[in-house]
Amino acid sequence: MHTIEVFGCDERDPRAGRSYTFPGAWGECTLAQLGTAAALASVPVDDEDPLRRDVMDAHRRLRLLHELTGMADAVFTRIDTADLLALRVDEAGAERVAFLPSLDWCFETPVLEKSLVPTLTVNGRTWSGPNDRLGRMTLLQWGFCDLLLGRMAQKPSAEALNHVLGALYHEAATPWTHEHIEARGEQLAALDDRTKLAALVNYRGLRGWLQKKYRRCFRAGKADPHGLNGMVVRLAGPKFGRVDEVRAANLHDVFIHVEQSLQDKEEMENRQKRP
């Protein structure tokens, strides 16, 4: 977490300061902060003029700071923006001025081991969703989540996002099934936009962690003509059984087996290359 102290807020004692904290990483966000960061960080800054682009980015970061700290407007206006500048060294080794670099994480791909949105509340009812490390998820559910996430990336819409949420969440009183994804999405449409974005970023972060843990699976899946899900089902078949049995298995059980199979294959190929 980061802390910012604002002085001059108390007319009785101008030297007195007020401290405010804000996240220093995706994993430090509350549900509200997660939605705020996802919404504001996605505002495009694509002006061709470098100066205008920097100004637009600075404005975006100021809005992030304002909302993530929860400062009152009267307090926020007392901040001297010059105090928010910092020197950074770029990849070429040159120094440049950066504005609010402590918010860089908002513009990076999230990687989360801990689920920040394991449940949602809709019309007074609790919905269960991704837990830590996607530990409860089956391969079938993960396949649907990834399929719908890919479709949303190709053609973004409110309906597409609702379908992704319908794949991720189900009413706590009933088990997850793939038959009612769209119906669940229609019910979850009642959520406010920032809560939806928070749930989406949460899944993307958990998926990012999965991708780092099972690097071989994801790398091989990109090259496979049937995609990652098809490759995993094919390679896991000898251990888990029929296609429906593979898909009903726990996500990690399947990925651990496939990752090990790919590692064994890689090591064998390396031995064969040795003189």
224-275 pLDDT, tens digit each: 777 888 888 888 878 888 888 888 999 999 999 988 988 888 888 888 877 7
The pTM score is 0.87
Average pLDDT of the chain, as a whole number: 86
Please name which of 209, 254, 250 lies closest in space to residue 110, comparing C-alpha atoms. Answer: 209
Domain termination site, one of 40, 73, 107: 107
Q: How far apart are CA 129 and CA 145, in angstroms?
A: 11
Residues 125, 193, single domain; the answer is: yes
Task: For residue 81, name the pLDDT band (cuts at 50, 70, 90).
Answer: confident
Task: For residue 45, name the pLDDT band (cuts at 50, 70, 90).
Answer: confident
Q: What is the number of structural domains in the chain?
A: 2
| Count of beta carbons in the 10 Å neighbourhood of residue 148 | 22
| Count of beta carbons in the 10 Å neighbourhood of residue 177 | 11
- The predicted pLDDT at position 162 comes to 97
Q: Which helix or strand (DSSP H or E) is residue 87 part of? A: strand 85-89
- The predicted pLDDT at position 127 comes to 97
**Residue 113 in domain:** no
Least-confidence region, from 46-50, 93-97, 179-183 = 93-97
**Residue 114 in domain:** no
Residues 166, 258, single domain; the answer is: yes
Of the two residues 263 and 10, the one the predictor is more confident about is: 263
Query: Is pLDDT of 97 > 70?
Result: no
Residues 95, 124, single domain; the answer is: no
Nearest 5 degrees, angle CA 44-CA 60-CA 163?
50
**Residue 275 in domain:** no
Range of the domain at 50: 2-107
Residues 177, 60, single domain; the answer is: no
Task: For residue 208, name the pLDDT band (cuts at 50, 70, 90).
Answer: very high
Residues 54, 26, single domain; the answer is: yes
**Residue 274 in domain:** no
**Residue 273 in domain:** no
Q: How far apart are CA 143 and CA 43, in angstroms?
A: 29
**Residue 139 in domain:** yes
- The predicted pLDDT at position 90 comes to 56
Residues 129, 250, single domain; the answer is: yes
Residues 129, 198, single domain; the answer is: yes
pLDDT, average across residues 42-65: 80
Domain termination site, one of 62, 80, 107: 107
Residues 125, 261, single domain; the answer is: yes
Residues 77, 162, single domain; the answer is: no
What are 201's two structure tokens?
A: 């970023």
Residues 86, 126, single domain; the answer is: no
Alpha helices in the chain (DSSP H): 31-41, 50-69, 73-76, 139-154, 158-168, 181-188, 193-213, 215-223, 227-240, 243-248, 251-273
- The predicted pLDDT at position 91 comes to 62
Q: How far apart are CA 246 and CA 249, in angstroms?
A: 5
**Residue 112 in domain:** no
Residues 93, 7, single domain; the answer is: yes
Task: For residue 10, name the pLDDT band (cuts at 50, 70, 90).
Answer: low
Tens digits of per-residue pLDDT, 138-163?
999 999 999 999 999 999 999 999 99
Percent of the chain with pLDDT over 70: 90
**Residue 123 in domain:** yes
Tens digits of per-residue pLDDT, 168-195?
999 998 999 999 999 999 999 999 999 9
pLDDT, average across residues 73-84: 78
Domain termination site, one of 48, 83, 107: 107
Residues 85, 158, single domain; the answer is: no
Of the two residues 113 and 47, the one the predictor is more confident about is: 113
